[in-house]
Structure 1
Amino acid sequence: MPDDQIRFLIVDDIQENMIALEALLRRDGLRIDFAGSATEALEMMLVNDYALAFLDVQMPEIDGYELAELMRGAERTRGVPIIFVTAADRDERRRFRGYEAGAVDYIFKPLDPLILRSKAEVFFRIGRQARELERQRDEMRVLAHHRDVAISRLKAHADNSPLALVECDRDLTIRSWSQGAERMFGVSAEQMLGQTIGQHRWLASDACTVLQGWIDNGTSAPRHSTEMTATRNDGESIHCEVFGSILRDPTDGNLSLSLQMLDVTERRRAEEVRSLLIGELNHRIKNTLANVQAIARQTLRQADNIDDFEQVFIGRLLALSRAHSILSDVTWTSAPLDHLIDEQIRAGTLDAMRLVRKGPKVQLSPENTLRLALSLHELGTNAAKYGALSVPGGVVDLSWKTVGQSLVLKWEERGGPTVSPPARTGFGMTLIHASAGGEEDTVQADWRETGVIWTITLPVGVETLKTKTAAKPVENIRGPMKRSELGGSRVLVVEDEPLVALDISHELKAAGALSVNIARTIGQALQAIEHSDIDVALLDGNLSGERVDEVAFALSRRAIPFCFVSGYGRQHLPQDFQDAPIIEKPFRADALLPVLNELIRS
């Protein structure tokens, strides 16, 4: 290619001399330029690189010697080799002047072609070598640039990486200690370089033995991994995942060990907490199921008929569910007693207008919350059936106080019918007596003619807050329990639990629904909304892990009223439908049907 050609420059004021010289020098890979004067020659040398310049000694204005001196005075042209071409006598003084001006040789006219070509060949090869060296130099510069960039990137990655990068020789002497290692272990590179792995005691002796075994096995295994406990400079223990690579130096065959260490202390702690939480969750779920089983069995034993069993059992189950909801809101730590009473009012078990309550603000442990929720439900239900709340003028005084570390809660009925101790102790009475955890003499009943007085003492699991104030009354959200008819409505039930869907379907058909369409997936729900006639819909808050926003939007587009039926709270349901009613699982039929009727009428 032209750019790879070697350039010679011929400077002569006679055109024929330049043509003749060029004819003798012509060869592949050589390009010859001509300059008719010193000025033209200097201009060309500022643009091109020349491996050799032939200068005619005798030229008008500026002769060859003066041109050579000008060339030596400029940085760019100083290194260009010069051969003088002259027809003058071989005067030693002239020759000395030429060498003094920077010439490397003389050629005398008439030219000897063999001598000319031989001398030109030397400089042609030198030019080729210089060009090759320049090419290699440029390549090396590019390689060096890429190397420097790669090293900078690797260093940046190593410095910013969460990994601690440590390199050791065969004797486990530390040769490299990254900034990640400095951050992880709190020890600087200056302190660690030159020490053996176990010298600073940041790794235990058994860990050092493992690493030494990796090196002793050579490169038989390309990659090693293990888990170790390391010690920070401040004495804190951290758990690490360690990955090791054995490298062999190709020049001397020496082995080295490259370690990448990841601090997984937080992950291990999280795994331990998760395991603990799963165990606790399993324990609570099984305890809850055992409680439900006990409630079902005891209620069934004492129920006069199936309708009585259903009403009592569901009431107790809902009381347990509401207590669970309260505890979920406080992440199963401690729940306010006021909230427990408010839930009984919202459920309709207690009448806010006929309840007088007073006491300090206290927090109850999860165990006390669950037991007292069932007790308050039983007290309210009994008062509504046989006691003060069974007649218009009856009132319940609910007060509590703290005595040392204990809470003493007093339930006093007045203004109701004359009462007397029951002939037999039913399961409801057993639940009330169990509200203090089965402790003896912690639950007492005083059966006065004017009304029963219950005194319940919780000896443990009570925390008193500083502020003392009477709780504000809470309005009943649900009115009197009564069934409602659906009047031939067509209902879509979007529910992925088959048993729950079946139970809802039976309740809806019993209430007069014309048809009940059950959809268990998002696709089935969208298909039913698109192609079926629907008057109202019940929408679960989650279908097998999938959000139901798409179904809610489809119902809204077709102007189909719907409510959510879910165990989730409002914050976990589609946020674009804040006005949609929520029926929390588990639920009673007399809580479901009025909501549906209201949706149909709206």
Structure 2
Amino acid sequence: MTAMTWMEGSNGGGFQAQLELPRARLLVVDDHAPNLLALEATLGDLGEVVKAASGEEALLRLLREDFALILMDVQMPGLDGFETARLIKERERSRFIPIIFLTARSRDASHVFRGYAQGAVDYVLKPFAPEILRSKVSVFVELFQKEEQLKRQEALLRQREREALERQSAYRYRLLGDAMPLCVFVAGPDGRLRYGNRAWTELSGLPAEAVEDLWRSEVVHPDDRERVHAAWCRSVDSGDPFEVQLRLRRQRDASYRWHLGRAVPERNERGRITGWIVTATDIDDQKRAEEELARASAAKDAFLAAASHELRTPLAAAKMQVHLAQRKFGNELTEGPRRAFEGLDRQVDRMTKLVSDLLDVSRLLTGRLSLELESFDLVPLLRTTCERLQALSSEHRLRLDAPETLLMRGDPGRIEQVVTNLVSNAVRYSPQGGVVELRVWAEEGGQVALLVRDRGIGIPAEKLALIFERFGQAHGARYGGLGLGLTISQGIIEQHGGRIWAESQGVEGEGSTFHVRLPIQSDLP
């Protein structure tokens, strides 16, 4: 075994590496066993001698192994030395292995030329002088050793460069992490945290390396420890990104603040995880603002529900009083008072509708909007609804396109409410009048398809998603309403197991189209 020691200069801090070079492997090819034994005895101390009794066997050896030199007889049965050399030189892996031909033939010019043409580096005549053969072979063995030495040195240099780059990258990571206002941690591929940045030390008052068991440490709120630790273990096992909210204790005032913990794996070129980068971002102010907003929203919803419920009684009383007055004094009223009573009756109806909408929204939010399911024919319901709404608007023409009958299961009162909302919106947003089209048909797959189309002002594209939100209005309060009708309609349709959506180009005169899909046979109880 040949050894080589390489010492770095003074700038390298005394780095020393011992390079162990392999013995040269020599392939000898001859069809006569005595010749092979003679070659092995002559060259055995120069390298590891591997014997092959034919050209075919030599090629098989070269498919699996590498050699420093090939010594090959020219005259062999089957593949002779020249043909074997040609095949060796055709393979990328073996084309640069030097070949010495062994021949008993005279050294005539044509014979020598053919050998060199096949890639030979030398000829040795049989019988050969052992000293001469050893001298020739030792030159190639030394060249092989020098080449291996250079390869090893190059590999060591590349390794040193990689290590230097890794140290530099680690240093830069630390500098970058210390400059960030959020907590940053580095973990190994096993999920064990190694150190935290300056923001972590300032938050916890602990050293940068005191993070090994962070998720179950006293820095984490007791109620969060096991949950967060379990989530971290799942991410480490699966390799999936980690994201969880947790509370961390701030050392200076012993208060717990909400943080968003995130981690992503680092992978090498083969996709294997080599480590994790973990961050913890302070979201306490945001969290408290969200909680306050949720409390305010809940209080608002509770107020609306209570106010709507309380308003129903006086509105019902007002409606009754108007009807009593019209019945008692109807024949005695002049035109002015009569029209005033009719206007009052309409406004009470409008207020009752608004209160009903508020109550329905409250029921939707609390999951208390109930359905009274039954089997019914949808077509008569649509005809009756269109006739009722047509009587309220002489400027619009409602056109119904429906089959003779369409049996389905659902809550007919709620379905009528949805149709009323859609048609009323179509009329409201068609201030110039015109046709409002209502179509219904049965689709394959057991669904009812309902379409309401108008030729009004349309809905801007950016408002299409807004119109189904509470108090969402595509055109503000200019056309009246609270913006609750579509919210309620969507809730009713979804409770039936269906869906509703709108289409519009937002161009005046092209209007809007609302689509509804409902199951014919609802699987609801």
Same fold (TM > 0.5) = no
Instruction: Return the TM-score normalized by structure 1.
Output: 0.31
Whichever of the two has the greater Rg, that structure is 1
Instruction: Return the TM-score normalized by structure 2.
Output: 0.35
